[in-house]
Amino acid sequence: MQAEQLSTHDFQRILLIKLSALGDVLHTIPVLHKLCRRYPSARIDWLTTSVFADLLRHQPAISNVIEFARHEWSRPWRWSPYASAGRLAAKLKANHYDLVIDMHGQFRSALLTLATGASARVGFDRPRRELWKASSRILPASARNHAWQGAREGSWLAYTHHIQLPTLDMHAVDRYLSIGSMLGFDAGPADFSFVIPDAASTRIDALLAKHRNGAKLLVVAPGSIWETKRWRVAGFAEVARHFVRQAFAVVLTGSQRERAVCEAVAAAAAGVLNLAGETNLSELGALIQRSTLCLTNDSGPMHLAVALGRPVVSIFGPTDPLWVGPYRRPDAVLKADLPCSPCYLRALSRCPHNHACMEEISAAAVIDRIENLLARHVNPEPVAIRG
């Protein structure tokens, strides 16, 4: 199919691929809604990893959520992951998609894209040096080496059509939506709305019943997969203590692997409720939907707060808010302007500056930013709907 035919062709069986992570999945939801409006009679499936299937399977815009068993690849020397991948490839082929959009852009997603046999396979172009030249910003060399700059691991070879970017200086949401000029999307704003099932809302209401008791709710997510993204425990604890004294209900949240850091914050901040490891993604959404404000590092809960229309304050260090910050919320970002940041280094052992980008952000500055935001946002309405 010629490139000029994409914008007028009426695709009827569409596969959208975004395997992980939480922020990236949420950034892809506006593409889903644009596809629904562009192709109102089409079947739209989403291929993702098992952990995100729970969040996506409740969305009426998605006809079917197909799970990629990523966890099986933790033991690649066994036969089971290859057998599972073979069954998945056969299933994708049997669905007869006529359009596949690979927003993940890695080797494994490219192989699955090819397995569909779709005549139109769209993904990002390969990294191109000239995209850096289109930017007037001066970034550290480490950011240029480690940040996203195009489809990776040769995945672009699997696509029949490539999404062309004028610059890298755009948020991930706008980068994903740049496919719109190829497919003829409408020019409306990004729509992050998604359904939170009633069961998730009911469970969160039960967990909060005694702790909240009508009080304003500060949800704090102190964890992150990257070591370098984490603000210090003592800082989160000081902020939590301040808002407990202000009669807020303060709730800590995170995944099971982030439970230890949440326990450390809870130990230093009496009166907080620690729900780390006790909620699935839909329940996390229900919790954040009820928040007065959410405090995070650069992490998935930050993007959930944006998608749900809740006020958020996010502490940034090694990553770039322009690319991955709270979408169109510049006042939500706290960062130290240092020449070494953003660096996109993940491990503290690789940081030659003693984590200065995060250490130089004081608890007082975080408290001040939260209070300023709360003064300007009087309990704005969430944008998600319940199912």
- List Cβ neighbours of 303 (8 Å cut-off, separation of 6 or more): 22, 23, 26, 27, 326, 327
The confidence score (pLDDT) of residue 376 equals 87
DSSP 334-345: EE---TT-----
Q: Is the pTM of this model over 0.85?
A: yes
The confidence score (pLDDT) of residue 77 equals 54
Residue 334 φ then ψ, to 5°? -115, 125
Check: CB of residue 234 under 8 Å from CB of residue 209.
no
Check: CB of residue 231 under 8 Å from CB of residue 222.
yes
Q: Is the predicted pLDDT of residue 373 greater than 80, yes or no?
A: yes
Can you tell me the distance from the alpha carbon of 121 to that of 125, in angstroms, rounded to the nearest whole number? Answer: 12
Q: pLDDT tens digits, residue range 24-64?
A: 999 999 999 999 999 999 999 999 999 999 899 999 999 99
Q: What are the chain's domains?
A: 3-183 (3.40.50.2000), 195-386 (3.40.50.2000)
Q: pLDDT tens digits, residue range 273-297?
A: 999 999 999 999 999 999 999 999 9
Can you tell me the distance from the alpha carbon of 357 to that of 318, in angstroms, rounded to the nearest whole number? Answer: 7
DSSP secondary-structure letter at 225? S
Can you tell me the distance from the alpha carbon of 222 to that of 235, in angstroms, rounded to the nearest whole number? Answer: 10
Helix (H) or strand (E) holding 273: strand 273-274
Tokens of 375: 């003064």
Q: pLDDT tens digits, residue range 118-144?
A: 999 999 999 998 988 888 898 999 998
373 CB neighbour count, 10 Å cutoff:
16
Check: CB of residue 234 under 8 Å from CB of residue 307.
no
Q: Is the predicted pLDDT of residue 349 greater than 80, yes or no?
A: yes
Can you tell me the distance from the alpha carbon of 165 to that of 293, in angstroms, rounded to the nearest whole number? Answer: 34
> Which residue bears the tokens 């197909």?
66
63 CB neighbour count, 10 Å cutoff:
13
DSSP secondary-structure letter at 78? S
Check: CB of residue 262 under 8 Å from CB of residue 343.
no
CA angle 353, 339, 151 (to 5 degrees): 95
The confidence score (pLDDT) of residue 4 equals 84
Nearest in space to 235 (alpha carbons), one of 57, 360, 83 = 360
Q: Is the predicted pLDDT of residue 235 greater than 80, yes or no?
A: yes
DSSP secondary-structure letter at 69? -
Q: Is the predicted pLDDT of residue 356 greater than 70, yes or no?
A: yes
The confidence score (pLDDT) of residue 84 equals 83
Q: Is the predicted pLDDT of residue 75 greater than 80, yes or no?
A: no
**How sure is the predictor about 386, in pLDDT bands with cuts at 50, 70 and 90?**
very low
DSSP 37-58: HHSTT-EEEEEEEHHHHHHHTT
Can you tell me the distance from the alpha carbon of 252 to that of 259, in angstroms, rounded to the nearest whole number? Answer: 9
Check: CB of residue 297 under 8 Å from CB of residue 276.
no
Percentage of the residues of the chain whose pLDDT score is greater than 70: 94
Q: Is the predicted pLDDT of residue 254 greater than 50, yes or no?
A: yes
Mean pLDDT score of the chain: 93
Q: Is the peptide bond before 332 cis (omega within 30 degrees of 0)?
A: no
DSSP 233-278: HHHHHHHHHHHHHTT-EEEE---GGGHHHHHHHHHTSTT-EE-TTS
The confidence score (pLDDT) of residue 71 equals 63
